[in-house]
């Protein structure tokens, strides 16, 4: 009887130790997914409606002051690896875009780096 209990205890400890090798962690995404190509299309003079059509609703809008700043925030924490953070702030002056601040990678212009579709 003792041999059976010891065998069960050893088997249980070995099986529980194996669980640490294959842990699955979910990716966690929060906020607005930010497309650098869309951010590049925001130009001074655009209306808030044009920005909302292009980027969607902002994550943060000013609640207690004039509607002069929209913040688009994106956080992605992969199961393994570093957290990715992107932030775009669109500033408005007199009801139109005055400037944009962003900490996202800039898109590469296709005409600067053409893709050869015939290459193998």
- Each residue's pLDDT tens digit, 40-55: 899 999 999 999 999 9
Number of domains the chain is built from:
1
Host domain of residue 46: 23-102
Q: What pLDDT, in 10s, does the model give residues 66-109? A: 678 888 888 888 777 777 888 899 999 998 999 999 887 655 55
**Cα–Cα–Cα angle for 89, 31, 88, rounded to 5 degrees:** 15
SS3 of 116, please?
Answer: coil
Residue 110 lies in a domain: no
Identify the CATH number of the domain in which residue 97 sits: 3.30.1450
Beta-carbon-side half-sphere exposure of residue 13 (alpha carbons within 13 Å): 6
* Paired sense of beta strands 28-31 and 69-77, if any: antiparallel
* Secondary structure of residue 15 in the 3-state scheme: helix
d(CA 61, CA 37): 22
Q: Is residue 107 part of a domain?
A: no
Cα 115 to the center of its chain, rounded Å: 27
13: in domain? no
Q: What whole-number percentage of the chain has pLDDT above 70? A: 69
- CB 97, CB 51: distance < 8 Å: yes
Does some domain include residue 77?
Answer: yes
């Amino acid at each position: 009887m003792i041999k059976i209990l010891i065998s069960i205890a050893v088997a249980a400890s070995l099986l529980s130790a194996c669980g640490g090798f294959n842990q699955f962690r979910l990716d966690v995404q929060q906020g607005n997914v930010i497309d650098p190509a869309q951010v590049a299309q925001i130009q001074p003079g655009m209306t808030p409606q044009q920005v909302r059509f292009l980027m969607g609703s902002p994550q943060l809008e000013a609640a207690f002051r004039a509607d002069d700043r929209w913040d688009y925030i994106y956080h992605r924490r992969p199961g393994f690896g570093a957290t990715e953070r992107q932030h775009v702030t669109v500033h408005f002056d007199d009801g139109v875009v005055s400037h944009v601040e962003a900490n996202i990678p800039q898109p590469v212009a296709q005409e600067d780096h053409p893709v050869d579709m015939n290459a193998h």
